[in-house]
Each structure stands twice: as structure tokens, then as C-alpha cells.
Chains A and B, each alone.
Chain A
Amino acid sequence: MAVLEKNFLISLAEDAVKSALKLGASEAEAYVYDGQATNIGIELGQISKTHRIIDRGIGIRVTINKAIGFAYTNIIGDPQAIKDAAAQALSAAKASKSDPDWYSLPQNNPYPKTQDTFDQKIVDLSPEDLVKIASTLLDTASEVDKRVFPIEGGVGSGYAANAIANSNGIAAFDRGTITECSLATLAKDTNSTTPVCFEFDASRNHQLDPLRVGKEAAKLAISALKSKPVETQTAKVILTQLALQDLFAYTLMIAIKADSVQRNQSPLKDKIGMQVASENLNIYDDGLYPGGLRTAAFDGEGVPQQKTKIIEKGILQNFIYDNYAAKKDNKESTGNAARAEYLSTPSISTSNFHIIPGNKTPQQLLAEVEEGFIIYYLQGAHSSNPISGEFSVVANPCWKIKNGEITHPCRAIMLAGNIFELLKNITIVGANERQMGSIVAPWILAEGMKIIGK
């Protein structure tokens, strides 16, 4: 991969800020992105496609009389295109309305050192290297059992660098790498098809484990064969990381955003210092988690990322902020302004949402369940009520637990409830932590879950 130089990206950002100020902006900020990715794709049981992308661009945010305008372009090789984007950001600001709550763009602050976010080996990976990993992944899965069909998956490597500059003196650069592999499988026998089963591995360093991913994806599909219907009941449920992430992403992780709180959209408003979850639950939003998929030195508006305590022993401690929401509450940003690269203005988002592990192994967690279910994936979590936290979703695949043992897969069951009730009913937090998209979490055990079956 040929990547753009640090100084070049910073100077692009600084020049754009200067252009915007010259055109009459009261404040200006420019965010430059250089992203590259290579992917080897598995489809219908074979490695059959490749994907390579270079995506670069600049997003310019300006204010005039507290009205905010933004423009982006992906043509960064042409200084005139960037000047045009600056002018467009100004015209957008002029068309917009003043926001009396606007304080300012962030000030310059020292940045923390991040750990394990960049690995030159990933940048240097050749397509041949990726094909080798993909072959291992596919071969391993195919060897587990003939009834397994690898539907899709792949292996990818990515590099992303960003530079940010603003009229308050911020001028910073950060870069990171990621490599990932994944496999979606299903198993078929004479008269049944399993739901799609999925395994993956992702890392900021070059240390993928395609053997584990291939084997687990296949084993999961086989164990989902021959599902049985379930009666409607109230039961103990173990949620694995993917299910937990799905459920939290559309409820809890929205409710802790300062923006939701300020707009009266969060049931957690006025609950700081109060018990909102079981005593077993400790959660940090950790923008500096070593090797975290969302770890970076600074956020989308150049504020240092940090570790923020969200819930300690079930007591709500903090919300997460960008600079705008923080100033509205007379606080400092927690470094949680996220961006869709150069294409969007910053908005509040969790970084690595870290559910602190307990000390029970998966076996010990299962042993706590005389009668219950273990859920791997949820269907329809995005249809949850983002404000009340109510959900009504399908657990699929899901397995029955009896006397501490997983006995058999269940036909898709429905799970209905409210996330803020569920938080109070988490009786045990497991020890088996892993990273999964935006969360770092172990399995959890929740009691009193409403299960709707046949």
C-alpha cells in the first residue's frame, strides 16, 4: 500500500482551515482521511473475489455567527477543489441558522499515547498473504463436517490515517491498521437448514487466527441442526458477545450519549449516582483500550480520547460527550465525537464499550443455569425503541441449557423486554472477554427474561 505522508495530510488540513478563514469563517476545522483496504472474499464455498479500495477525502466544518456549515470532497489532489469545498462549507453555514448553544471548536490539548493500534506488517501484507489466510479459513471449516456450507466471508487488511486541524491551533495526525477474517456458515441436513452462524477475528496487529474462526463457524452451524420448539416462559438467559452488542447498540449505548440526555430522550437523565443496573455490572467507555478496534489518540474533532467510567457496581457515573454537548453542560468533552470519515460532521458515539469481566468461566456460567437458554445472535435488534429501551427481537440461533449443559438448539424464539430492566437482572458477568465491533465484553447471565415460543 502506498500511503500518504503525515506532513502532507496535516498541511492539507491546515491549508483548508486557512482558506475557510480567509473566506470569512469565524472558525474552521478540516479533517483529512486516507483509507485503503484489500479484501479477499469467500462466496458460496470458494474464494472467488477480491476487493481493493483507496478512499481519500477532506471534510471542512466552519462557523459563522454560531451557524455551522460543512462540506466535503473526495478530490484532494486539486487545491482548487479544496478551496471550493471551503467555500461550500461557508455557503452552507450562511444558509443555516445560528445556534445560541454553540460554544466553539475544541481547544488544543496534549494527546495520549495509544497502544497496539498500528502494525507495519499489516500495511505490508500482500494479496498472496491474504489468500493464504482465506484458504486456511475455508479449508478448516470444510474439514469439520460435510453438512457445513461456508456461505460467505473473507480476509481483509486495512489502513486508515487522519489529520485534523482547526482555527484553535489543533494540528494532529494519527494512523491505524486493522486486519480481520470472518466466515458465515450454515448447515443443512435432509429436512432442515440452520440459521446463519458466524465467527470472526479482528485485530489491530497482524495476528489473526483463521483456524479458530473456520473451526468455530463450522461447529456452531452443526450444533444448530435439529432445533426444537420452545414453550413461552420466563427464564435465565446467557447472552454471548454478539447478542449483547446488538441489544446494547440500539438502546443503552444511545441512552448514555449526552445528546440523548440533553434532548430528553434518555431514561438515564437525572440518574447519575443512582443504581441503574445490577451491582455486578461495571462499564467503561475506553477510547484508549490497548488494541481496541476504536482506539485512537484523538476523536473526530481532535479531542484526546480517554477512558470514561459509565457504570460502577451498577451505579451510573457519567455520560459521553463531544465538545458541543460538553460545553452545554459546562463540562469537558470525553473524546467521543465520531465521524463517518470525511463524509460527515462529528456526532457522539461510544468508542470501545468495555463491560468489565467477572471471574466465572463459560462452564461455570452455564453451571449456574438449571433451566434456560444461551443466545448467540439476535434478529431485529435495530427495531428496538431507542428511547424507552424496549426490545422485541428474535433469538436465532439459540440453544437450550439444562442442568448446566447445552442440550439442543431451539427454533427461533422471541425475546421481549426493556434494556433497563435487563440491566438490573444481570446476575453474573463472565470472564471470557472478547472484542466484538464496538464492545469489549464477556458473556453475561440475566434472569427473568420473557421468552415467547410455540
Chain B
Amino acid sequence: MKDILQKITATATAKFGANYAEARAQQLAKTMFILKEERVEAAKQGIESGVAIRVLVNGAWGFASVGSLDSSILEEAVSDACRMAKLVSQRLKTPIKLASAPTVEDHVHAKPKKNPHSIAMEDKIKTALVINTASLGFDSRIKSCGLDYMDLMGTNFFVNSEGTSIEQDKLYVWARITASAQAEGTFTFSREEIGSTAGYELFDDQPPEELGQKVAQRAIEQINAKPPKGGKAPVVLGPNVVGVFVHEAFGHLAEADLALSGGLLDSNMGKKIGSDLVTFYDDGTLEGAFGAFKYDDEGVASHKTLLIKDGIVSGLMHNRETAQKFNTQPTGNARAEDFRVEPIIRMRCTYMAPKDQTLEELLEGIKDGYYFKSFRGGQASLDGTFQVGIQEGYEIRNGEIQAPVRNASISGNTLETLHMVDGVGKDFTIDPGRCGKGQTAFICDGGPHIRVSEVIVGGSA
């Protein structure tokens, strides 16, 4: 494979005038199934294999993707990519350049304790059925439950015209578990995602019965929950919500491509935009975490990147192109969902560093507020407006967690809200998730419990 890819990059530079060329090949096998109320909707297996070619010609990018290793098809693809890049380069005001990156030759092996592909599909379905059964059996008001399972194994090959050559195994195991409940005309919904890059041992860490019960229990609790009051309130956020808050309220703004697009951070580097308690990282090196990998899709080693330290903006997430613009090092954040698309800057595992408080201490002194424990979706905008949907939340009255609230969300502006973080816990949890930015990326995020003195709570009451 390495030879084929080297031939492509050589053709691009020698024959078609590329200043830089890279070729990525992917050979993947996936297993998937969907369960709905203990019924298997379909058991699925798939094979995907293809090549992505990316070239820089006179400062413009050309990209071509084909699902083939046939040499004439690859030659046509590399010719197309170079020709089109040359065509658009004619109007460029600012030619694209790349920050230098160390040349790497490496072979990264996946070492799962339990290889998902050596476990029979029947057994995976059996495990999933246990989860479904546990949800349905939890309470008669549970009306439906679902489970999407996916595992993926294979190899990514990366070669560039600078001499880098990497063979890297890919392994993901993921499941999304849902349950809905209904009583007296009220409908509720609960979901949970689990995921790992370690192996199928994921299901040993999280016993299936407990998972099924946990999702069902949340749906049941919601039945008697009230909508929250809309307006400003102090909140305590659990690690699951903190992760998404860090991801949406800060993470996207710290993606260097979005910072350059007019986001808030370009002009705030080195400035204090949050309280002393605010320290965030984006870390690609946490072994087994859903967002972890050794090399990104530009062949750059994944780093642990400090984004904000004690409230001061300290770094951004870069690919080679943005690192050059900021005159810094690439951080290993260039990720492509598959061979059909080009790598773009994506988060890996984004989290807030813990401090020293207990949950009780964080709750203390809140007369009238909310404890938001688990999220459902979230979205950022470049102007710093963030939104995080909440699937599990409670009222706080006089420092005590009280009755559940349903379908809340929180919003605010990043530059104001980070100053309002006035308590950070000593606990620490990370959860897997998926992020959409045109492409889907497997990520994780998390942190400790925190207190925010004021956010806007979206509620219909």
C-alpha cells in the first residue's frame, strides 16, 4: 500500500506541479445493528476502502477521493486534484502555506484486550438485548427502547511528499442507548452513549443491565418533572454537561480555522476571558478515550493542548495550515471522517481541569437555581453564543437538590459566562460523544462539577 501511495504523491509533485502532496488510504470493516424493543431491525456488516489525495498547487488545495486502488483511476484522480487546484490558485490573494512538521515513519498497532471482530455478531446482539430487556423491565411506563451499535476496525495509511509514512490501526466501539416513557399524556425521552478506542472490553466496564436501567430510570424520572422557569439563574453543572459546555462554549472558538473566521479568540490570545478557576485542555493522548489517536490525518502526532489556563487564552487547536498562519506548531487536530473528505480541525478529548471543591460546597449558598446533570445536544456560534440542551436536571433550593425539571437548555455568551465560573469540583469524568462540523468526529469531553453564577435557562414555565 505504501508503494502505491508514494507513487501517487510522486506523480503529483513530479508530473503535475504540486508543491505538496499527501495520500491517505483506508481499509475498514464495520459491524452495526439496530435494536428496537428487543427486535433486531437489521444486522449489518460493511467494507469500505478508498484513497484520498490532497495536493497544494501554487498555494491552493486540490482534493480527490476515489473508492479504488486501480492505478489508472488513481492517476486520473491525482491529475484532477492538481488541475483544479491550479485553476483556483489563479485568483488567490493569500496563498496557503504549511507549517513544518517532523517527518515520521511509524506503524501504530491497536491492542484491544477484546478484539471486537473476534466476537461473534450473535454475542454482540445478545449483550445488546440484555440492555434492551433491562430498560423495558425497569418500569411498565417505559414504552420503547432502542440501541444502535457500531464497531469499526481497519487501517489508515498516510504518505506525504515530505517523506512521512504512517500505518495506523483504527478501532472504535460505540453504542447509543435510548428509552422513552409515557404516562398521563406526558412523553419523555432519555439517551446515553458509550464509546471506546480500546476494545470490546467497554462492555465489561459498563455492565449492560446497569446501562439499560440507567437510561430507563432517567425517562421515568422525567414524567413528573416540570419545565424550568425561563431566565437567568445560578447553576451547578455535572461533568457530562461541563464537557459539552467546554466543547460548545469554548472548544469550537479555539479551533484555529474558526478563530480565523472571525471567532472571538483570534483577538483574545493571551488575554483573560474567564475566572481564575478556568483551565481547559484538548487532549488527543488519553489512551482508549473515544477521541484519542496517535497521528492525525496530516501525519502530525496528537498532542495534549492547553487552551486556556487560569482564565487566560493560551493556545488554539491547529492543522498545518493554521499553525503556519499563527506562526506556531500544528497540534495534531486535523481529522477526516473517512477517505471521502479532507481533514479539518476537530476536537479530540476536551475537558476542564478539576480543582478542589465537593458537590455539596458547590451547591451551598444557591438559594434558587438548577443542577444540570446530563445533556442532550448543543451548538456554538462564532459570536460566542452557546446553547446546551439538558436531558436531566433538578431544581436547587437553599443548597439542596430538589425536584426534577425537563427539557431545559442553557445559553449565554462565552466571554461573559467563563467569568462567572465561581466554583470547580475535585471530581473528574469524561464521556464519549460525536461532533458535527460538516463531518462527524468521534470525540470525548468532560471535567468536574462546576458552579456558574449566572446563565440563561431556556424554560417554558
Contacts and interface: CB of A to CB of B under 8 A. Distances in A.
Whether A and B are associated in the same complex: the answer reads yes
Contacts of A131: 87-88, 91
Interface stretch (A3-11, A72-80, A105-113): A72-80
A71 interface: yes
Contact of A194 (B84, B87, B340, B383): B383
B93 A264 contact: no
A71 B45 contact: yes
A43 B68 CA distance: 29
Contacts of A91: 45, 121
Nearest to B38: A97
Interface in A283-315: none
A430 B80 CA distance: 45
Contacts of A77: 68, 70
B382 A388 contact: no
Interface in A5-63: 38, 40-41, 43-57, 61
Nearest to B52: A53
Contacts of A92: 33, 42-45, 121
B389 A75 contact: no
A408 interface: no
A51 B260 CA distance: 21
A368 to B, nearest CB: 24
Nearest to A255: B187
Interface string A242-285: 00000000000000000000011101000000000000000000
Contact of A393 (B66, B122, B260, B458): B458
A388 to B, nearest CB: 4
A85 interface: yes
A85 B391 CA distance: 40
A186 interface: yes
Interface string B70-106: 1001000100110111011001111010000000000
Given A75-B67, A385-B407, A390 B460 contact: yes
B270 interface: no
A127 B84 contact: yes
B92 A379 contact: no
Given A54-B67, A263-B36, A70 B44 contact: yes
Contacts of B77: 52, 54
Interface residues of A, number: 89
Given A50-B63, A52-B77, A68-B43, A450 B460 contact: yes
Nearest to A63: B42
Nearest to A53: B65
A56 B66 CA distance: 9
Contacts of B46: 71-73, 343
Given A390-B460, A412-B385, A452-B458, A50 B39 contact: no
Interface of B: 33, 36-37, 39-50, 59-68, 70, 73, 77, 80-81, 83-85, 87-88, 91-94, 96, 120-122, 125, 143-144, 180, 182, 186-189, 227, 230-232, 257, 260-264, 340-342, 375-391, 406-409, 411, 413, 456-460
9 contacts: A40-B84, A53-B64, A67-B40, A92-B42, A101-B39, A127-B87, A193-B384, A383-B388, A396-B381
Interface of A: 38, 40-41, 43-57, 61, 67-75, 77, 81, 84-85, 88-89, 91-93, 95-97, 99, 101, 127-128, 131, 135, 149, 151-152, 186, 188, 192-196, 232, 263-265, 267, 343-345, 379-380, 382-394, 396, 412, 414-418, 450, 452, 454
Given A379-B387, A389-B187, 4 more contacts: A52-B62, A95-B121, A99-B41, A186-B383
